């Protein structure tokens, strides 16, 4: 008998691993910076819109569950002009701190403009929740602010737009709340966006 040598072919493969951890972290950090206001550390307008998009995805089937509130500081430009931009920055940071203290844990605060803050509200008890939060914000800003050797009183205008209003995208909801805040400057009261009445007045 002739013994035949049996040879088995061994399959081999080459695996190359590339560590992209640093690259991914850099991308995440850049995205975070793009969505964050450098002065206050709060979400900026783009970051606020992102938060809204996420909430839309979760609560879109029940639009009455959320609202956007815009807090616009009155005559802030005068403070900036009289006391300088550093004092203005200090005031904005303190205002942001007070507004945050007036909010509930699940509410999201953002700085969406120079002297404008946005609040994303989740409504547990319907639209009355927005009224209660707005009153707390007004009370929080009622006490004077101390800047250098001066006491400054800051008033604000507050507008609210609700998720149940007809909108095409989240930017519409933010714009509606901004428009309501402009109306509030005239009325002196917290103003809710009313689609039909506001559209006629535009």
Q: Which residues are marked as active site? A: 115
Three-state DSSP state, 134: helix
Q: Across-strand partners of 152?
A: 145
* Residues near 152 by beta carbon (within 8 Å), at least 6 away in sequence: 79, 91, 144, 145, 146
Buried b (16+ CB within 10 A) or exposed e, 34-70: ebbbeebebbbbebbbbbbeebbeeeeeebebbbbbb
Cα–Cα distances in angstroms (integers) from residue 55 to residues 59, 64, 94, 185, in the given order? 6, 12, 27, 29
The pair phi, psi for residue 91, each rounded to 5°, is -65, -45
Please work out, in degrees rounded to the nearest 5, the angle formed at the alpha carbon of residue 27 by the alpha carbons of 21 and 29: 100
Running DSSP on this structure, what letter comes out for residue 158? E
Running DSSP on this structure, what letter comes out for residue 200? H
């Amino acid at each position: 008998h002739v013994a035949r040598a049996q040879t088995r072919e061994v399959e081999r493969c080459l695996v190359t691993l590339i560590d992209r951890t640093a690259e991914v972290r850099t991308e995440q950090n850049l995205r975070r910076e793009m969505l964050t206001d450098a002065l206050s550390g709060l979400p900026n307008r783009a970051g606020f819109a992102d938060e809204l998009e996420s909430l839309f995805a979760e609560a879109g089937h029940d639009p009455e569950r959320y609202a956007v509130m815009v807090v616009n500081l009155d005559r802030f430009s005068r403070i900036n002009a009289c006391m300088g931009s550093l004092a203005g920055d200090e005031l904005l940071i303190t205002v942001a701190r007070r507004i945050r203290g007036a909010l509930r844990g699940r509410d999201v605060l953002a700085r969406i403009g120079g002297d404008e803050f946005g609040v994303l509200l989740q409504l547990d008890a319907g639209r009355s929740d927005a009224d209660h939060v707005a009153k707390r914000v007004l009370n929080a800003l009622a006490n004077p602010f101390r800047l250098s050797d001066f006491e400054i009183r800051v008033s604000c205008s507050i507008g609210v737009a609700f998720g149940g209003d007809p909108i095409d995208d989240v930017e519409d909801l933010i714009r509606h709340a901004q428009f309501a805040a402009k109306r509030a400057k005239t009325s002196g009261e917290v103003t809710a966006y009313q689609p039909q009445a506001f559209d006629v007045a535009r």
